[in-house]
Structure 1
Amino acid sequence: MAPFRPWIGIDFGTSNSAVAYVVSDVPRLVHFDAKAQTLPTTFFFDFETRESLIGEPANRALLDGLEGRFMRALKRVLGTTLMHEKRQILNERLTFVEIIGSFLRKLKERAEAELGVPCTRVVSGRPVVFHGQNDPREEQAEADLRACYDAAGFTEVRFCPEPAAAAIATGVAGHGAFTGLVVDIGGGTSDFSVFHSSTAGIEILANHGVRIGGTDFDRAISIDHVMPLLGKGSMIRDVFGSGSSQAPNAIFNDRATWEVIPFLYTAQNRRMVEDMLKLAESPERLARLATVLQHELGHELAFAVERGKIAVNAGAQDPAIKLDMLEAGLAARLRDALVAESLSDHARRLASGAHAVLLQAGATAAQIDRVVYVGGSSLMGVVPETMRNIFPAAEHSFASVFTAVAEGLAIMAAQEAA
């Protein structure tokens, strides 16, 4: 048997990440514990123990109320100036390149522990677009991601569009010849690949992407249903005169944005809210916002929104976003119609993305035999509902939504090793 060559595939995600490799032509997923084959892309820097936690331990530390700094959705920072700004993290001044690099190093070490060999070569997924078509940050975002892999100790890095990797994993599953569309809805981006599968292999006909993901779904729901309970839309009396004006939307919009939350706990923001509170016509709502800033509860709110979103999508009875961390019994009630209204703009953009990739592929909706969904956020009902309206005659199926990209990347990694 030929010696194993340590190329691995890594799906570094906005919300969750996965690692895979190929043994005897079969992709295998790295385990992070006895059951988990994915790792939350989260960080917690514990102020008391001075430890840096990653994944589920980071999530638990936040939810247990430990004192520290929590971070999530850092993939969305790639390509921005924030990536290279040093900031104090526990005992060091670090850039986000170094922080993300430490996460990728954890993935690398876990793969090495499972395989028993050094893993320094990787095929990494990347969204079709990080920010948008023709956005000047696109080239920088990929350069930033490469720098993160360098910081993690990888010596060779290849990139592959994430939906193309999912198409490769789907195409080797023995479905015969067909033309398919991968709809990959992740935490931060939505990507589309039109591909043709045959006995000769997978041919990628076109890739397209839009900067919409599960964190954007959370943001829209939070802005519409949670932020009004924290004072969004409140009227603030003028300091001089008898007039009033609406509280600025920016702090509420930022409060609902996963990747921005860690940067909002500033003295300036606290003073601004305190000043608004003194002049608010309905101070009880803005007092909740002051509590969020004072006790740094932004991520707890964001997780509550995510849980509420999942509950209504799962058809739970009387679903709600529970805000007991602010006030006993406080909740934002949800219904399917309310969520659909909040996500209507995103649904239109997803539809536009699907039409755009068809145009690039020179295909029509009627020529798509199968629509394959991957990515955790593809489980939201708005996604298949939107796609079924465009592709009513196609077969619609969910692949391994959390791991298909990693499996496809592993297949490509094996090809690199051959």
Structure 2
Amino acid sequence: MARLGLDFGTSNTAAGVLAGSNPFAIPLEPDHQTLPTAVFIDYADKHYVYGSAAARAMMDGAEGRFLRALKSILGTPLARESRSFLNERITLIEIIARFLSEIKTRSETFTGMTFETALSGRPVHFHSASSERDAQAEMDLRDAYLLAGFKDVSFLAEPEAAALAVAGQGRMLIVDIGGGTSDFTLCDRKGDKTEVLASRGVRIGGTDFDRVLSLRHAMPLLGYGAQIGAELSSKTHSAPKALFHDLASWEKIAFVYDPALLREVRRWERVAQEPLLFERLGEVLEAHLGHDIAYAVEAGKIAANGADSGEILLDIIERGLSVDLQRDAMQMALSDFATEIGTNALGTLADAGCAPDSVDQVVFVGGSSLMAIIREQLATALPNARHEDAEVFTAVVHGLAIAAA
């Protein structure tokens, strides 16, 4: 039986096999090599919807629960908490398993092959600050694969997989900036042989960029940092931050829609110095608009990355509501992340005992590697290396397909 190469990503997922001697990304949606890692639990029709169709259902206002960035919950207590969806108790690991089962089915339908085993990509570290959570995350993902119908699964670090697929010769640093993590592999390529010298990873990715930009630019329009008072005194205090941090985090948005929390926000409206801000927040919670905000922030980020400024459009909350996102302000907001990514890139070289000037080329992989601030940071860290783009969304799955075969 064939083995499926499967890149289960925070934002997008891809599956691949070898076609002859060449890696091939299986179209998981018509004319698309990747599938958004998104699930919509449709309350009306009582079924699960995946990928772009899931995002459309959420944006169209269908009744249900939208989940994205599920990879980020692996290794956390959220993963194994039992929740009620469509009259059944189910964990998020089981929901991931249903998503992976859909990938398996679509891959088998397209290829006419049967995939009983998988070679899965994984970040170098799911959790760079905790070895226990890191080990638990792989265990969680393994359980999801087995529940999805695979008889066995092996794992390969994502930048090491990409190293098998990218073009070039000499010493290469693979820089894979995804939705949830940043990963680095230093390797030597001679002919068709690739030798991995060192790999390193840190839990920073595009969803972190979105969270910081949302907190700085979108959440203040909903009351983040605003003052609320006590009903029986003149004292004031800032609105509790936890709600806004959850509302700005892709993987937590689905779990902020709580009736008791909504009642508390409506109370804030009565005692706030700026009631309109909390009226908007109440509308977001009541109409389940958290993911709409996240998509608007992501779109503004992409626009500002390619121009002097972008715009975060929030007119789904209130007609004409928007905020400008200046490129310089975005760069400043993300500068700490960029610095840490640059530090870890150089740390990968240090782990291998290699000097920066020994690197012939830096190869960028992953959607968030398109951010200009990341390119600028790596250009500063490795000024003598050529900077090349791989197939940013499919290099990992191409490498997994090669390794799986």
Q: Tell me which interval the TM-score lies in, with the shorter structure as reference length.
A: over 0.9
Shift of 1:23: 2.4
Question: Alpha-carbon deviations, 1:310-363, whole Å to 9, x = none?
Answer: 1111227x5200000111111010111111111112112111211221111111
Say whether residues 1:64 and 2:55 are aligned partners. Answer: no
RMSD: 1.3
Please point out which of 100, 104, 123 is paired with 2:100.
104
Shift of 1:114: 2.1
Shift of 1:133: 4.4
Please point out which of 300, 310, 335 is paired with 1:319.
310
CA distance in 2, matches of 1:291, 1:31: 38
Shift of 1:14: 0.4
In the alignment, what sits opposite 1:343?
334
Please point out which of 282, 287, 291 is paired with 1:290.
282
The answer as to whether partners of 1:50 and 1:91 remain within 8 angstroms in 2 is no
Question: Alpha-carbon deviations, 1:178-236, whole Å to 9, x = none?
Answer: 11111101111110111111126111111111111111111011000001111111111
In the alignment, what sits opposite 1:137?
133
The answer as to whether partners of 1:307 and 1:321 remain within 8 angstroms in 2 is yes
Between 1:31-40 and 1:10-19, the stretch displaced more is: 31-40
In the alignment, what sits opposite 2:34?
38
Question: Alpha-carbon deviations, 1:163-191, whole Å to 9, x = none?
Answer: 00011111xx3x33x11111101111110
In the alignment, what sits opposite 1:167?
163
- The SS at the match of 2:107 is helix
CA distance in 2, matches of 1:319, 1:406: 31
Please point out which of 293, 305, 328 is paired with 1:301.
293
In the alignment, what sits opposite 1:128?
124
The letter of the residue matching 2:56 is R
TM-score, structure 1 normalization: 0.94
The letter of the residue matching 1:64 is D
- The SS at the match of 2:204 is coil
Shift of 1:81: 1.6
Give the percent of matched residue pairs that are identical in Structure 1 and Structure 2: 45
TM-score, structure 2 normalization: 0.97
Shift of 1:89: 1.3
- The SS at the match of 1:259 is coil
Q: 1:134 to 1:234 in 2, by over 3 A?
A: closer
The answer as to whether partners of 1:374 and 1:402 remain within 8 angstroms in 2 is yes
- The SS at the match of 2:312 is strand
The answer as to whether partners of 1:126 and 1:159 remain within 8 angstroms in 2 is yes
Structure 2 portions without partners, runs of 5+:
none
Count of residues paired in the alignment: 405
The answer as to whether partners of 2:14 and 2:28 remain within 8 angstroms in 1 is no
In the alignment, what sits opposite 1:251?
243
Between 1:400-409 and 1:270-279, the stretch displaced more is: 270-279
The letter of the residue matching 2:137 is A
The letter of the residue matching 1:375 is G
The answer as to whether partners of 2:28 and 2:107 remain within 8 angstroms in 1 is no
Instruction: Give the 5 Å matches for 1:62-211.
Output: 62-170=58-166, 173=167, 175-176=168-169, 178-199=170-191, 201-211=193-203
CA distance in 1, matches of 2:223, 2:387: 42
Q: 1:102 to 1:118 in 2, by over 3 A?
A: same
The letter of the residue matching 2:23 is P
CA distance in 2, matches of 1:194, 1:209: 12
Say whether residues 1:21 and 2:20 are aligned partners. Answer: no
CA distance in 2, matches of 1:261, 1:151: 25
Please point out which of 372, 375, 391 is paired with 2:366.
375
CA distance in 2, matches of 1:407, 1:347: 27
In the alignment, what sits opposite 2:266?
274
CA distance in 2, matches of 1:298, 1:364: 45
CA distance in 1, matches of 2:263, 2:318: 22
CA distance in 1, matches of 2:260, 2:52: 32
In the alignment, what sits opposite 2:216?
224
The letter of the residue matching 1:167 is A
- The SS at the match of 2:9 is coil
The letter of the residue matching 2:277 is R
- The SS at the match of 2:126 is coil
CA distance in 1, matches of 2:290, 2:234: 33
The letter of the residue matching 1:89 is F
In the alignment, what sits opposite 2:385?
394
In the alignment, what sits opposite 1:406?
397
Q: 1:136 to 1:116 in 2, by over 3 A?
A: same
The letter of the residue matching 2:323 is A
The answer as to whether partners of 2:310 and 2:327 remain within 8 angstroms in 1 is no
The letter of the residue matching 2:208 is D
